Chains A and B, each alone.
Chain A
Amino acid sequence: GAVVSQHPSRVICKSGTSVKIECRSLDFQATTMFWYRQFPKQSLMLMATSNEGSKATYEQGVEKDKFLINHASLTLSTLTVTSAHPEDSSFYICSARGASGRRETQYFGPGTRLLVL
């Protein structure tokens, strides 16, 4: 079964509103979570890396004030798209990395499709 979940799976919002996307690791504690963005017919681009309890590290060109990341616990990270605009419409995918037993594991979530009108 899925070991990383995302909620919601789809969201449609009006321009100017904020949207929060949750990423949860279900069977393990995720010490590190990654947020990716995928434009139609393109590859995944890493947006930011977050470690539990510390500030996220953003990739070059990603606005940290627009894409707020909170990794408050070992099983939950949230991405908030603030004042969303149509150009923010995309597929957002999280990935969680941590130890399951003795093994280091990393899994991708199913993604959240955001459409900003």
Chain B
Amino acid sequence: GDSVTQMEGPVTLSEEAFLTINCTYTATGYPSLFWYVQYPGEGLQLLLKATKADDKGSNKGFEATYRKETTSFHLEKGSVQVSDSAVYFCALSTTGNQFYFGTGTSLTVIP
């Protein structure tokens, strides 16, 4: 079945450090891939998405490229800020209905 495997956390970085959160997926069809962010006490917010191979999603300095050959969608940011502290979820959807989420990666950025 469809699934997402995400790098386990927690991750602690200093401000302005480079961030990578790994995400790989298994899907029977041609999924769309997503990164969602959850700030403390809040629901999910879509951070970025990519709908086909080689697409790059980007938002707020975060990027992720849909790599079909490695079935990956790693999240990167060149310089993190304290305000980026949150839990990040990788997700896929093949039908546009059900989403399959990774277990989430908690990121803490310290000044």
Residues of A within 8 A of B (CB): 6, 32, 34, 41-44, 46, 49, 93, 95, 97, 104, 106-111
Which of A43, A46, A110 meets B89, CB within 8 Å? A43
In the bound complex, CA of A109 to CA of B38 (Å):
11
Are B102's CB and A110's CB within 8 A?
Answer: no
Which of A46, A106, A108 meets B43, CB within 8 Å? A108
Closest to B6 in A: A43
Provide 26 A-B residue pairs closer than 8 Å at the C-beta atoms, listed in order of the A residue. Answer: A34-B97, A34-B98, A41-B104, A41-B106, A42-B103, A42-B104, A43-B101, A43-B104, A44-B89, A44-B99, A44-B101, A46-B99, A49-B97, A49-B98, A93-B43, A93-B44, A97-B96, A106-B96, A107-B46, A108-B36, A108-B43, A108-B44, A108-B45, A108-B46, A110-B42, A110-B43
Cβ contacts B68-108/A at 8 Å (1 or 0 each): 00000000000000000000010000001111011110100
CB contact under 8 A between A104 and B96, given known A43-B104, A93-B44, A111-B43: yes
CB-CB under 8 A from B98, the residues of chain A are 34, 46, 49
CB distance from B88 to the nearest CB of A (A): 11
Chain A interface SS verdict (over half): strand
Q: Tally the A-B contacts, defined by beta carbons under 8 Å.
A: 41
Closest to A112 in B: B43
In the bound complex, CA of A44 to CA of B99 (Å):
9
Which of A32, A97, A107, A111 meets B42, CB within 8 Å? A111
CB distance from B60 to the nearest CB of A (A): 17
Closest to A59 in B: B98
In the bound complex, CA of A49 to CA of B42 (Å):
22
In the bound complex, CA of A51 to CA of B97 (Å):
11
